[in-house]
Amino acid sequence: QEYEIKWKDFKILEDQQLGEGEFGVVFKGELSGSTSNENIAIKTTKPKVDRTILLALMSELKVMIHLEMHENIVKLLGACTEFLREGRLYVLVEYCPLGSLDLYLRTTVRIKLDSLVAIPERAINNQEIPGTIDSLSSNDLVNWAVQIARGMQHLQNKKIIHGDLAARNVLLYSGNQVKITDFGLSRQLLNYDSYVKQSQAMLPWRWLAIETLKSMIFTHKSDVWSYGVTLWEIFSLGLIPYPGMTWTTEFVDYLEQNLRLSRPKYASAEIYKIMMSCWEYEPDMRPDFRYLEDKLRAFFMFPS
């Protein structure tokens, strides 16, 4: 009840769809305010989807309510349940104007980089990205990485496993603030430290830990693995992990043989070492999010 928002108090801008998946869709919208209207994002299911999809969105809503507010988690504004009987639920969240991090890396960041006259290859390998006119620098990448680690600590404190951490599920609120979103695969751990999923349907295999692929076990440490892949996306400026590979069960053998993603172009050797630590075979050997935040923070470069 505390989160209920009446149908009449918000507007869906049907012609401004922000994104869609197989079962869900996100629209831009407006929330009526006392003085002005606020831009919002509205997540709902596609028409005539199975009841389980509606239940999944309800469970995502429940997770978001439980998460409360954090600067690196997309803020829940409320939900409209007036049409739940007809199978419709609307989840209203804050609007993040710059969209998802993966797209931003692939477009804006790359364009800014290309606008540089020439980046000496040596500078890239040693130092990551030099500043540009719009002052995009390696500090931005580190800043995003640190903030995601901070958001993930909050999730862990709230006993939530994200289950689908990836750059596509990180939104940019501004150039220097990122927020984690999409809790559709999240689970709240009440009496357990891990969660075993029943079916393998549609899992994001490129981001999944070895034990998840083998036994469908999700833990905070499998989130750490996905965080490592997200770091790889950030420091490759949005490449798809394991380029050119397609899903086969041989992928598991590949990981079993200790083969991992190679160093992305814009990561220094030290940052690559941090990523690699997230992909330790033994979950217990992987660092936690607090350690990752501290480690990465040390890579901020201050003007000399």
Q: Could you confirm whether 140 is annotated as catalytic?
A: no
Q: Which is nearer to ligand ACK, 103 or 124 (CB)?
A: 103
The length of the chain, given as a count of residues: 304
- Nearest to ligand ACK of 49, 119 (CB atom): 49
Residue 266 phi/psi, 5-degree rounding, is -100, 15
Q: Contact region for ligand ACK (CB under 6 A) — 65-73, 93-101, 197-205, 259-267?
A: 93-101
Nearer to ligand ACK among residue 155 and residue 178 (C-beta)? 178
Q: Provide CB contacts within 8 A for 187, sequence distance 6+.
A: 63, 160, 161, 163, 195, 218
Rounded to whole angstroms, the Cα distance separating 130 from 136 reads 8
Residue 46 annotated in ligand binding: no
Question: Which of the following is catalytic: 102, 140, 164, 182?
Answer: 164
Residue type present at position 35: T
Asked whether 231 and 259 are in contact (CB, 8 A), the reply is: no
Residues 6 or more apart in contact with residue 5 via CB below 8 angstroms: 31, 77, 78, 79, 80, 92
Positions in 180-199 near ligand ACK (CB under 6 A): 181
Residues 65-84 touching ligand ACK, rule: CB under 6 A, are: 74
Q: Which residues pair with 44 in a beta bridge?
A: 25
Compose the 94-123 pattern: x for residues touching ligand ACK by CB under 6 A, - for all others: -xx--xx--x--------------------
How many beta carbons lie within 10 A of that of residue 19, not counting itself? 14
At its nearest, how many Å lie between ligand ACK and the CB of residue 219? 25
Among residues 3, 9, 11, 19, the one that binds ligand ACK under rule CB under 6 A: 19
Number of chain positions touching ligand ACK (CB under 6 A): 13
Write the burial class of residue 49 (CB in 10 Å: 0-12 exposed, 13-18 middle, 19+ buried): middle
Three-class secondary structure of residue 251 per DSSP: helix
Q: Which of 5, 18, 148, 271 binds ligand ACK (CB under 6 A)?
A: 18
Residue 79's alpha-carbon distances to 32, 33, 89, 111, 203, in angstroms, are 14, 16, 7, 37, 27
The nearer residue to ligand ACK, 44 or 219, going by C-beta atoms, is: 44
Nearest to 29 by CA among 102, 103, 90: 90
**Span interacting with ligand ACK, options 90-98, 127-135, 149-157, 273-281, rule CB under 6 A:** 90-98
- Per-position DSSP letters for 42-98, written without gaps between them: EEEEPTT--HHHHHHHHHHHHHHHHH---TTBPPEEEEE-TTGGGT--EEEEE--TT
Residue 29 beta carbon to ligand ACK: minimum distance, rounded to whole angstroms: 10
Residues 246-275 that bind ligand ACK (CB under 6 A): none
42 belongs to the binding site for ligand ACK (CB under 6 A): no
> Is residue 234 within the footprint of ligand ACK (CB under 6 A)?
no
Return the residues of window 161-180 that contact ligand ACK according to CB under 6 A. Answer: 171
Binding-site entries: 43
Binding-site entries for ATP: 43
- Contacts with ligand ACK by CB under 6 A lie at 18-19, 26, 41, 74, 93, 95-96, 99-100, 103, 171, 181
Question: Active-site residues: which are they?
Answer: 164
